[in-house]
A and B are shown apart, each in its own frame.
Chain A
Amino acid sequence: MASQNNYDAIVIGGGHNGLVAAAYLARAGKKVLVLERRHLVGGSTVTEEIYPGFKYSVLSYVVSLLRPEIIRELDLAAHGLELLPLESTVTPLPNGDYLARWADHDQTRRELYRHSPKDAEAYDEFGTLMYHLAFAIKPILAMVPPDPTSLNPGDLRSLVKLGNHFRGLGEEKLYSLIKLMTMSSADYLDEWFETEALKATMSASGVIGTFLGPRSPGTAYVLLHHYMGEIDGAFRAWGFAKGGTGGVSEAIASAARRFGAEIRTESTVARVIVENGRAAGVVLENGDDIRASVVVSGVDPKRTFLDLIEPGELPGEFVHAIRRFRIRGSSGKVNLALDELPELACLPGRGPHLRGAISISPSIEYLERAYDDAKYGGFSRHPFMDIIIPSMIDPDMAPPGKHVMSIFVQYAPYELDGGWNDARREEFGDAVIDTLSEYMPNLKDIILHRQVLTPWDMEREFGLTEGNIFHGELSLHQLFFMRPAAPWSDYRTPVRDFYQCGSGTHPGGGISGASGRLAARTMLEDM
């Protein structure tokens, strides 16, 4: 086919960040084309009816810190984004008891008091500190990372601003922040709490998407992210999207289209055309050649720089850095269609707890042992699980009276001993259901359909290298101006007119859209 050279920008990958970038570029008047390999947009942020009548949020399942400025600037509410409350977390315990944290402060306090009067008080103080720290680091999420080694005035200005910002925190909070940056979540929480299940459930959030255990240093930092949502509480930065997470992608895609962006699905990009050191367009797998002034990739850094670009076009140093970028997948996902509501042995009956998260994280030791399995090449026999029942929050997710269940499972290493195959996948699914059945006795009897996704499936079906849900681990050496590789953290790349906007760039991780927005901003500066 003849080449079409009429786009200002091509976005590779219609994941949520790609769509956000496309929307902002189109909003600025650019002619934008989004190319998505699959039959629907959203990337890892999709809702699919895998089993008739039952809608699965296939991979990502809660909205985590979707940037309020994106909701506002793209007017996502007008495009159908509806975020519903996800209010509680219940951790069932092996002894038949449970630990719950509810939306209501007094209710949570009373529940924690039942386990430890001391923890009930510490929890409030901890919350206040986290709120302060989260407020302090919040501006960083909306900032293009400066290059700390650069003498460029723009970078220097950013660095000075950053320095002043942290000085303004005051000594005490600065030390707390440094602790959070360097300690393991288990150690950090030990300084505050004594209830095992509380520490375990809180620290579990620090290891999601990383190949680390709760006792690994650097995991404490992620605790902060959970308080980020409180600052923008009104925007419900944490919550469940009506229609599943695909609802978020649909809203962003609708906004992008309204601004004039064109979105093509089932269009696989084979490679980026580089001419005279500049990106000039893309070649599709079907041979079509589409030209544009700039190209931006929303897919992960490995795929972007090692597959889509001729290695010769990139400096050797950079290629090495990308090769070293840690992207080990560590989690799996199990989605269930259920004939009726599951029952928790520790809290029988239909109750508000079934509208929140259920966390299988009874103790730090439990989590660390789950990690041990994975460290030595197996999947966890008794994994950490973060479970929600989306149909309890949005009844339209399943036929009336029926339910869907979303189970995030960790650990499932990409590098499984002997490798993943269909049999090992189902074996992994069995381990998940067996473990969960210990807490939900009726579970096995009510399963109508089960979808199991391992890191292997995530790579093959969703293009996530090594099945890493964050496009690269969120560990300290891979954050901010190190993400994905210094100094290319400002969304530019060594190839002129070629940009990156995926979760593998700052601030990465979760359905935040921040990478897409910041990348578009950088591109518009250059265009």
Chain B
Amino acid sequence: MLRTTPFHARTSALCQAQNWRRWAGYIAASSYELNHDREYHAIRSAAALIDVSPLYKYLLRGPDAQRLLNRVVTRDVEKCAVNQVMYTPWCDEAGKVIDDGTLSRLGEEMFRLTAAEPNLRWLQDNAVSLDVTIDDVSDSIAAVALQGPNSREILKRASDADLDGLRFFRLTSGRVQDVPVTISRTGYTGDLGYEVWVDAERALSLWDSLVSAGEPYGITPAGMLALDVARIEAGLLLNQVDYIPANKALIEARKSSPFELGLGWTVVLEKDHFVGQTALLEERKQDPEWQFKGLEIEWDSLEEIYNGFGLPPELPTVPWRTSVPVYSHDRQIGYGTSGAWSPTLKKYIALAHLQARHAEPGTELTMEVTAEHQRKHARARVVDPPFFDPERKRA
């Protein structure tokens, strides 16, 4: 039986569209309104409230918590200060990505790790002989993302936390009304935004406070469709969509290393031993075979294709997450994994795995589009993600 999140009493009452999807064994609203359009614009122009409770969350405590994490993830956890958050992938012994998430240093010996997939056993297996307790707090901690240009004002009104002093990828604690919360300046939208972590039992009270403080600032509950558009614009990966976790891949070809996913910047090879280090050291000696890049599909090309059928261009009305072939001179050299029309950029964009020699920014490729039941090739240009990266995100 699918579970409902601690915010369900509120989200279900708001969900006019009755459009739900699965997320990690929970149900999550795809959109609240009949159309996700306005929810998306709330993320970019006002503020959106997104229930992200289904994330897997692990609390790691003990003198060896840092050692355990440093053994598992690719980033250097020693460098993670208290109240800092790091985005990181983690790999198997072959250096292929298993999952990605954020680790938050809540104290000298206390961390919280989020994940897209269950990772308790993986963490425990790697904790052999270490003095660390690992708790699965997925159900007991609720989380809500408040994202968008007005999110700071709203949180300032709703909480006593020092938000002006809170930098990008840092966290703080405080109270919203009388509810103790942790606020991290993180999110999955590539915009100014925060994630608020709360004891599941106090979730509804948090939701109500945020909604009432946010009302004059245009706060809008947003579902997964709106979030998906935003995260594609931000060039943020989605496990099981943009890559297949190494521990679930049926064949080698489906696995990806961090270098092949554009996550080379997260790999600190110089640190103490970590899972996958040997393989990654080896891999770094050569250039990766694949690159994960952005594609901008050319409007003129779409117009040509559709006008050939007497139609105006038909664009995806919701983001897609299927495999779409990408070509160079009619030879397939990659595949798109996520795509959407970006209402902010006014561009049709996609995230794609490309053979490295075709992945230089500016390279002209084509992507398959199906127009009037026919497979056509639309011209597309390679770009480095993120597509959208506003100053306010870090400001």
Contacts and interface: CB of A to CB of B under 8 A. Distances in A.
Contacts of A85: 37-38, 41
Contacts of A107: 34
A107 B35 CA distance: 12
Most buried by B among A72, A85, A400: A400
A236 B343 contact: yes
B239 interface: no
A302 B341 CA distance: 42
A231 B217 contact: no
B312 A77 contact: no
Contacts of B322: none
Most buried by B among A72, A84, A232: A84
Given A85-B38, A103-B35, A242-B45, A395 B346 contact: no
Contacts of B180: none
B150 to A, nearest CB: 7
Contacts of A187: none
Contacts of A8: none
A356 to B, nearest CB: 11
Interface string A112-135: 000000000000000000000001
A104 B347 CA distance: 24
Given A104-B35, A395-B46, A234 B341 contact: yes
B37 A234 contact: no
B347 A77 contact: yes
B343 A234 contact: yes
Nearest to B44: A82
A232 B346 contact: no
A262 interface: no
Contact of B346 (A72, A103, A231, A352): A72
Contacts of B35: 103-104
B342 to A, nearest CB: 8
B34 A82 contact: no
Most buried by A among B215, B217, B312, B341: B312
* Chain B interface residue number, banded: 20 to 34
A400 B219 CA distance: 11
Contact of B312 (A71, A87, A231): A231
A235 interface: yes
A395 B34 contact: no
A395 B217 contact: yes
B20 interface: no
Given A84-B45, A242-B45, A395-B218, A77 B345 contact: yes
B87 interface: no
Given A87-B38, A103-B35, A395-B46, A232 B312 contact: yes
Nearest to B299: A72
A339 to B, nearest CB: 13
B34 A104 contact: yes
Contacts of A231: 312
A426 interface: no
Nearest to A398: B216
A53 interface: no
Nearest to B348: A234
Contacts of A234: 313, 315, 341, 343, 346
Given A72-B346, A77-B346, A85-B41, A394 B341 contact: no
A400 B217 contact: yes
Contacts of B346: 68, 71-72, 76-77, 234-235
A167 B9 CA distance: 59
Interface in B341-378: 341, 343-347
A396 B149 CA distance: 10
Given A72-B299, A77-B347, A87-B38, A135 B312 contact: yes
A401 interface: yes
* Chain A interface residue number, banded: 20 to 34
Contacts of B41: 82, 84-85
Interface string B201-224: 000000000000001111000000
B309 to A, nearest CB: 12
A513 to B, nearest CB: 14
A274 to B, nearest CB: 40
Interface string A388-401: 00000011100011
A76 B41 CA distance: 17
Nearest to B216: A400
Contact of A103 (B34, B313, B347): B34
Interface in A75-101: 76-78, 82-85, 87
A394 B46 contact: yes
Contacts of A232: 312
B216 A401 contact: yes
Most buried by B among A83, A103, A234: A234
B222 to A, nearest CB: 14
B312 A395 contact: no
Interface string B234-277: 00000000000000000000000000000000000000000000
Given A72-B346, A87-B38, A104-B35, A395 B44 contact: no
Contacts of A400: 153, 216-217
Nearest to B37: A85
Interface string B6-50: 000000000000000000000000000111011001001110000
Nearest to B213: A400
Interface in B319-354: 341, 343-347
A78 B342 CA distance: 12
Nearest to A236: B343
B235 to A, nearest CB: 16
A401 B45 CA distance: 17
Contacts of A72: 299, 346
A82 B341 contact: no
A174 to B, nearest CB: 16
A231 B312 CA distance: 7
Nearest to B219: A395
Interface in B133-162: 150, 153
Contacts of A84: 38, 41, 45
Contacts of A87: 37-38
Contact of B45 (A82, A104, A235, A236): A82
B307 to A, nearest CB: 10
Nearest to A403: B216
A395 B315 contact: no
Contacts of B150: 395-396
B46 to A, nearest CB: 6
Nearest to A231: B312
A350 to B, nearest CB: 9
A77 B344 contact: yes
Most buried by B among A232, A352, A395: A395
Most buried by B among A82, A107, A231: A82
Interface string A471-499: 00000000000000000000000000000
Interface in A376-413: 394-396, 400-401
Name the 10 nearest CB pairs between A and B, nearest first.
A400-B216, A395-B218, A401-B216, A104-B34, A77-B346, A231-B312, A234-B315, A77-B345, A234-B341, A84-B41
Given A87-B37, A107-B34, 17 more contacts: A68-B299, A71-B346, A72-B299, A76-B346, A84-B45, A87-B38, A103-B35, A104-B34, A104-B35, A234-B315, A234-B343, A234-B346, A235-B346, A394-B45, A395-B150, A400-B153, A400-B216
Interface of B: 33-35, 37-38, 41, 44-46, 150, 153, 215-218, 299, 312-313, 315, 341, 343-347
28 contacts: A68-B299, A68-B346, A71-B346, A72-B299, A77-B347, A78-B345, A82-B44, A82-B45, A82-B344, A83-B343, A84-B45, A107-B34, A135-B312, A234-B315, A234-B341, A235-B346, A236-B343, A242-B45, A355-B38, A394-B45, A394-B218, A395-B46, A395-B150, A395-B216, A395-B217, A395-B218, A396-B46, A400-B153
